[in-house]
């Protein structure tokens, strides 16, 4: 993105947002935890939201970007819901997975 916009990265120690790393084993543990949850009518779905410490209160990864990993067990559906930003669905794994 920096190259595309012809921008320069901030000097060391001057970044407004710190870089974050989300280890695969921790993501796996979080996915296991949400799969153990029973779906309720109030839940739009099951997801893990990724964020950074400086933006934790806003539940975002960047000021202009929200990153969540949604997961549904076989037979489960997400209820209709809205977002305050663009939502892109990428099916990573699943048989007969479809979006309405």
More confident of the two residues 38 and 55? 38
Q: Which two tokens stand for residue 9?
A: 């990265």
More confident of the two residues 80 and 87? 80
Report whether 50 contacts 65 (CB < 8 A).
no
Q: DSSP H helical segments within 7-100, as ranges?
A: 24-36
What is the per-residue pLDDT across 41-60, written as a single tens digit (0 to 9) for each?
888 888 888 887 777 777 77
């Amino acid at each position: 993105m920096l190259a595309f916009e012809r921008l320069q990265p901030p000097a060391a120690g001057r970044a407004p947002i710190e870089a974050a790393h989300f280890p695969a084993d921790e993501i796996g543990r979080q996915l296991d935890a949400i799969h153990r949850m029973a779906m309720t009518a109030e839940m739009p779905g099951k997801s893990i939201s990724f964020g950074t410490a400086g933006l934790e209160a806003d539940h975002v990864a960047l000021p202009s970007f929200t990153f969540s990993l949604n997961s549904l067990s076989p037979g489960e559906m997400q209820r209709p819901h809205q977002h305050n930003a663009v939502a892109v669905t990428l099916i990573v794994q699943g048989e007969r997975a479809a979006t309405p």
